[in-house]
Chain A
Amino acid sequence: GQNIDQPTEMTATEGAIVQINCTYQTSGFNGLFWYQQHAGEAPTFLSYNVLDGLEEKGRFSSFLSRSKGYSYLLLKELQMKDSASYLCAVPNSGNTPLVFGKGTRLSVIA
Chain B
Amino acid sequence: DGGITQSPKYLFRKEGQNVTLSCEQNLNHDAMYWYRQDPGQGLRLIYYSQIVNDFQKGDIAEGYSVSREKKESFPLTVTSAQKNPTAFYLCASSRTTRGGTYNEQFFGPGTRLTVL
Whether a CB of chain A sits under 8 angstroms from the CB of B28 is no
| Least CB distance, B43 to chain A, in whole angstroms | 4
In the assembled complex, the Cα of A48 lies from the Cα of B45 at a distance in Å of 20
Q: How many interface residues does chain A have, given as a range?
A: 20 to 34
Contacting pair B100 A30 (CB below 8 A): yes
Q: How many interface residues does chain B have, given as a range?
A: 20 to 34
- Assess A87 versus B108: contact at CB under 8 Å? Given A42-B90, A95-B96: no
Contacting pair B104 A41 (CB below 8 A): no
- Assess A87 versus B43: contact at CB under 8 Å? Given A30-B100, A43-B90: yes
Contacting pair A42 B100 (CB below 8 A): no
Contacting pair A98 B50 (CB below 8 A): no
In the assembled complex, the Cα of A41 lies from the Cα of B98 at a distance in Å of 29
B-contacting residues, A66-110, CB 8 Å = 87, 91, 95-103
> Which residue from A41, A45, A96, A101 sits with its C-beta under 8 Å from B109?
A41
> Which residue from B33, B58, B104 sits with its C-beta under 8 Å from A45?
B104
Contacting pair B102 A30 (CB below 8 A): yes
**CB closest residue in chain B, given A98:** B105
Q: Which residues of A contact B (CB under 8 A)?
A: 4, 8, 30-31, 33, 40-45, 48, 50, 87, 91, 95-103
